[in-house]
Chains A and B, each alone.
Chain A
Amino acid sequence: MSGSSDILSILLEQVDRLLTQHATKEVLAEAEHGTWPATLWNALAEAGLSLAMVPEEQGGSGLPPADAMLLLRRVGYHCTPAPLAETMLAAYLWAKAGGKPSVEPLSLAPTNVEEQIRLLHTAHGASLAGQARRVPWGRDVSKLIVFARDEQNRSYLVCASHPLGEGPFHRNLAFEPRPTISFDGITVAEAEILPAPSICINGVLELGALLRSQQMVGAMERCLDYALTYANERKQFGRPIAKFQAVQHMLAVAAGQYAAATAAADLAAQAVGSQQFGFAVAVAKARVGEAAGVVAEVAHQVHGAMGFTQEHPLHFATRRLWSWRDEFGHEAYWQERIGRIACKTGGANLWPMLVDAQR
């Protein structure tokens, strides 16, 4: 995908090795019970992955967003039970805003369309107001990069450190922590408030959707790997179930969905920072999310009862797919956006618009 494709493939292999070693079934299971995967996180941080997208002059690896998105597919593939995607993006945005990124785990807020965090300037300094639901790893990270608007509706990124207000504690279907965080009355030093860079001038929803799209592509690949292996191993009626046409066709359909999802995710990955990004990421999240449902369904059907157990690791991938497709806007949300753009564009101009959006 990039000019430095050799270096990139070496990096992706390194990430695969590291995650195979550290994101084991045991680590995944423990993380679901609330254990922070310290060894895994330290390995990721030592490899420089948390700052992968931060420019080199600001202490990062300067990985172009399109390449970083390929890396996130590997992170999704391994069902990595840590906020690496969130940290990479938060560090990237904070650095873009002019902040000094640290290697600590980070997350982002708010992640829902309807939520707004206000930045208030008073005689006593600046403070925040509002709450964010379902903040990814909200209590596990040391800092949150918060998108906030002030009284004049100007956009800022605010680096908010714990302790922050705690609301209800939820987890998504993969048991990844998604607590509610309250920012009411949280004071912030001026140094922790920076004007939002243009890439997130309207919030982090689109960029969050980008992350989840890439992670889902990776998790779908994992589902298919499991299903293909299992179909060739599992014997019934005297032959591997892979030899049954009904099974073959299910998996062919899933492969088609995966390929279409990958194409849509590529589209968004390559559009980061461009005029076309808004449309591209809507296509990605809508198309990938739809494919995720099909791939998860087929993978389970192929595995039969075995895949429905906690023992088989398939659920680590499928529960993530069922969670991630609804995070940062579900399919219908993004489809509606695309549909409104298409209708506004009109039938005759739809094609030129589509072509321009994919340049």
Chain B
Amino acid sequence: MRALQFDPVTLPPEAEEMRRRVRAFLAAERTAGRLVAYRGSWSVFDPDFSQRAGAAGFIGLTLPREYGGHGQSSLVRYVVTEEMLAAGAPCGAHWVADRQSAPQILRYGSERAKREILPRICAGRCYFAIGMSEPDSGSDLAAVRTRAVRTRGGWLINGSKIWTSRAHQVHYLIALVRTGEAGEDRHGGLTQFIIDLSRPGVQIRPIRNIAGRHEFNEVFFTDYFVEDDMMVGKEGQGWSMVTSELSFERSGPDRFLSDYHLLVALIDKVGSMPDRRSAIEIGRLVSHLAALRRMSISIAGLVEKGKMPGVEAALVKDVGTTFEREIPEVARRVITTEPSLEEDDVFVKSLAHVVLEAPSFTIRGGTREILRGMIARALGLR
């Protein structure tokens, strides 16, 4: 059982200095009434906030300065991320770009892509969606059918992507498409491209979620032309790049803080003198949170060392999203109420939102079943 060990990591002084800066920024946002207490931080799409955060230097922290970034460590970025999430800052607009698109473009993108896109991401003005899933390719990502065919100066893409969060609001998506044969391991012939959603050949169809919200979409490509230098990485490298991208996507504190605001609201609802049962329920959640935070910092430490902690990230996401799904259930046990989106009370309103969002926690970014399969492989069971 020596697999999957999470070495303790101590946050360096510059990370704690950054914490002071980001807290000061967030305090001003709170005073100005710009934080939404009843919604999860990264589910709220607010370009104005993203631009202020970008201007204050809180986006693209690990990117080099020459591309508009701040040349900071993954641990510094970790601190900014967790403080934003814990404060309920509306980070939804820049979240995907900052978390996974920018690091991918920096690592594998062309010079043109880096020059054109990264500075705008860092400024909080350029947003991304994820183009992995397709109607017949969800958990089985290798079954991707959207195809890119060579043409003069680039590629023509035909096919569709689905569950594309914010496709109707963002500027780009990175699409995983088929450019060749899959081969025996099914992982060959896949390539990633940066798709400019404002160009011809893209159609976006809204899909409403169970709460009636329009957040995700189906995106259709009809002879969409993409230049060679908007390819990310090399032809046929798509699978390994998606794998590394998913490590970024799965490893962060957004995988256990999605509904932290509900825990906050619950504690305030219960008040400073809880009865024994309420104290036990809340204390249990806090004990889980403290352990998860340590594990997540440990992963940030691995990323900082240049490692790609795919399995560790899967494990933290599994444990973290299980925790997220428990919060509303515990809240219901402790406080008697009937949740409603129309309610003014912050706790009741938060509970309503979270109950309706919770099923997505253990699906998006890799279902818990896929994650457990990955963990099982690392344990030597597959």
Contacts and interface: CB of A to CB of B under 8 A. Distances in A.
Contacts of B266: 347
A263 B270 CA distance: 28
B210 interface: no
Interface in B178-237: none
B7 to A, nearest CB: 8
A334 B5 CA distance: 25
A1 B274 contact: no
Interface string A281-306: 01100110010000000000000000
B294 A249 contact: no
Interface stretch (B128-136, B242-250, B335-343, B370-378): B370-378
A221 interface: yes
A357 B380 contact: no
Contacts of B289: 354
B315 A256 contact: yes
A335 B287 contact: yes
15 contacts: A1-B8, A228-B380, A252-B375, A252-B376, A256-B315, A256-B318, A256-B322, A283-B287, A286-B283, A331-B284, A336-B283, A338-B286, A340-B283, A346-B268, A347-B267
For chain A, give the interface size range.
35 or more
B122 to A, nearest CB: 26
B264 interface: yes
Contact of B1 (A228, A338, A342, A351): A228
Closest 9 CB pairs of A and B: A339-B283, A339-B279, A338-B283, A335-B283, A248-B376, A347-B264, A252-B372, A252-B375, A263-B294
Interface stretch (A95-103, A106-114, A150-158, A239-247): A239-247
Interface residues of B, number: 57
Given A283-B290, A331-B284, A335-B284, A252 B1 contact: no
A29 interface: no
Contacts of A18: none
Nearest to B346: A347
Interface of A: 1, 221, 224-225, 228, 231-232, 242-243, 245, 247-249, 251-253, 255-264, 266-267, 270, 282-283, 286-287, 290, 331-332, 334-348, 350-351, 354-355, 357-359
Given A256-B319, A336-B279, A228 B284 contact: no
B139 to A, nearest CB: 13
A343 to B, nearest CB: 5
Nearest to A331: B284
Contact of A354 (B19, B273, B290, B369): B290
